[in-house]
Chains A and B, each alone.
Chain A
Amino acid sequence: QQQVKQSPQSLIVQKGGISIINCAYENTAFDYFPWYQQFPGKGPALLIAIRPDVSEKKEGRFTISFNKSAKQFSLHIMDSQPGDSATYFCAASRGYGNQFYFGTGTSLTVIP
């Protein structure tokens, strides 16, 4: 059973556009939600993360929106650039626990 459901599987966006990736979870005990970026042939790298006591967190062009009541969170990439083309994974963990549950990934392509 997938603990974290991610959509879409793939996304194509024009340069300068907004990329939006969505994730949903069921376990209300989750309280740490990171996003990872992975380039081909590389390991995932932490991009941005949020805890459920805030509804939004912004770092540069990357924003996480969090809806606790709906048990959903999303990644917004503003002014998308070709260099943002990568696979993005959402994840969730409980407390400061050891186990992260990952979404299945979204392959983002930004067209020049």
Chain B
Amino acid sequence: NAGVTQTPKFQVLKTGQSMTLQCAQDMNHNSMYWYRQDPGMGLRLIYYSASEGTTDKGEVPNGYNVSRLNKREFSLRLESAAPSQTSVYFCASRLNPLRTSGGSFFGPGTRLTVL
């Protein structure tokens, strides 16, 4: 049981390049999330997927797109990276927030630098 896994762990991009961050969970959780963490800002929600087949915007969605590929996988895409997107990105999952309380399980993070 690996929990929540993310790839890659580190990435350096040039302004304007695109990339996809991958996330997978093996806990049979229904909901998945993408957060970014910046110094002094805490964790801010980018996008989430309440269940397979649905996605919704969070607090800071601009410049990002997501795909809920299946129940296990939720990817985050940067179409044209900007220096303001330099951050640590965390994927998280949660069993079923509509039926149970309970926190989210986080992956180890992807450290992205945009030059």
Contact = CB atoms under 8 A, between A and B. Distances in A.
A46 B42 contact: no
B4 A96 contact: no
B97 A96 contact: yes
B42 A102 contact: yes
Contacts of A91: 43, 103
A45 interface: yes
Given A98-B31, A98-B50, A46 B97 contact: no
Interface residues of A, number: 25
A36 B105 CA distance: 10
A43 B45 contact: no
Interface stretch (B12-20, B61-69, B71-79, B106-114): B106-114
A94 to B, nearest CB: 10
Nearest to A3: B59
A89 B4 CA distance: 19
Contacts of A9: 40
A91 to B, nearest CB: 8
A73 to B, nearest CB: 15
B109 A99 contact: no
CB-CB nearest 5 A-B residue pairs: A43-B106, A46-B103, A102-B42, A102-B43, A104-B42
Interface of A: 6, 9, 32, 34, 36, 41-46, 49, 51, 89, 91, 93, 96-100, 102-105
27 contacts: A6-B42, A34-B103, A41-B108, A43-B90, A43-B106, A43-B107, A43-B108, A43-B109, A44-B90, A46-B102, A91-B43, A91-B103, A93-B97, A96-B99, A96-B100, A97-B97, A98-B31, A98-B97, A99-B58, A100-B43, A100-B103, A102-B42, A102-B43, A103-B42, A104-B40, A104-B41, A104-B42
